């Protein structure tokens, strides 16, 4: 039995405990020491809100593991074309975007205001693979005509998937009414 997981934007997107950012990603807590989670291959969007007293200030983005200056304002200082910056002037928030995230992108990022002394916010980008696992023994013996209950546990997902596909061989069996298949949803699992 195989399990396929899916939904708009896939199983996971940016997120921790935050809300949808409107672009298929979910942001963690905005502010100092926030965490953003994303799967490999997805896009990450890190937010840097500028304090109201510093309206009009540009920010710098630094990757902390190697102190690489990534951007100042909207000017990019890295040769990695996956990075770009956007700015929402009406709410004074700067965003660092990372396209096609890899495990190597995981780590701490810092945004700094262009003031003296500078004001900094730290955020952590977590990159983890989402997977599913059928709980219990890998082989089960049941009498013909009896009920078989399987539990699929979803691991490392950052947003609740919209659906889970159950397969027997190459055939999806979610809606196999001839065999009385029923799929039940829980917080981090699916029953067949």
What is d(CA 1, CA 181) in angstroms, rounded to the nearest whole number? 13
Q: Can you spell out the DSSP letters for 105-157?
A: G-EEEEEEESSSS--EEEEEEEE---EEEE-S-SS----TTS----EEEEES-
Other CB atoms within 10 Å distance of the CB of residue 162: 12
Q: Taking a C-beta distance cutoff of 8 angstroms, is the pair 109, 64 a contact?
A: yes
pLDDT digits (tens, 9 = 90+) for 18-31: 333 434 344 444 56
Q: Which domains does the chain carry?
A: 13-127 (2.60.40.10), 130-191 (no CATH)
Minimal CA–CA distance to 149: which of 100, 182, 116? 182
What is d(CA 93, CA 87) in angstroms, rounded to the nearest whole number? 6
pLDDT digits (tens, 9 = 90+) for 81-123: 999 999 887 778 899 999 999 999 999 999 998 887 878 899 9
- The reply to whether the predicted model has a pTM over 0.75 is no
What is d(CA 136, CA 177) in angstroms, rounded to the nearest whole number? 25
Between the alpha carbon of residue 108 and those of residues 63, 159, 183, the distances in Å are 6, 22, 40
């Amino acid at each position: 039995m195989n399990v396929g997981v899916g939904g708009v934007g896939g199983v996971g997107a940016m997120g921790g405990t935050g809300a949808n950012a409107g672009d298929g990603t979910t942001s963690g807590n905005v502010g100092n020491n926030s965490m953003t989670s994303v799967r490999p291959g997805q896009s990450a969007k890190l937010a840097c809100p500028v304090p109201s007293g510093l309206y009009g200030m540009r920010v710098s983005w630094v990757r902390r593991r190697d102190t690489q200056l990534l951007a100042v304002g909207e000017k990019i200082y890295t040769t990695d074309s996956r990075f770009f910056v956007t700015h929402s002037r009406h709410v004074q928030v700067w965003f660092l975007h990372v396209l096609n995230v890899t495990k190597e992108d995981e780590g701490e990022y810092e945004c700094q205001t262009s003031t003296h002394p500078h004001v900094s916010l730290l955020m952590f980008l977590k990159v983890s693979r989402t997977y599913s696992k059928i709980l219990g023994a890998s082989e089960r013996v049941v009498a013909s005509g009896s009920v078989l209950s399987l539990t699929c546990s979803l691991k490392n997902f950052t947003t609740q998937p919209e659906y889970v596909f159950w397969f027997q061989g190459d055939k999806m069996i979610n809606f196999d009414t001839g065999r009385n298949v029923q799929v039940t949803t829980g917080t981090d699992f699916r029953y067949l």
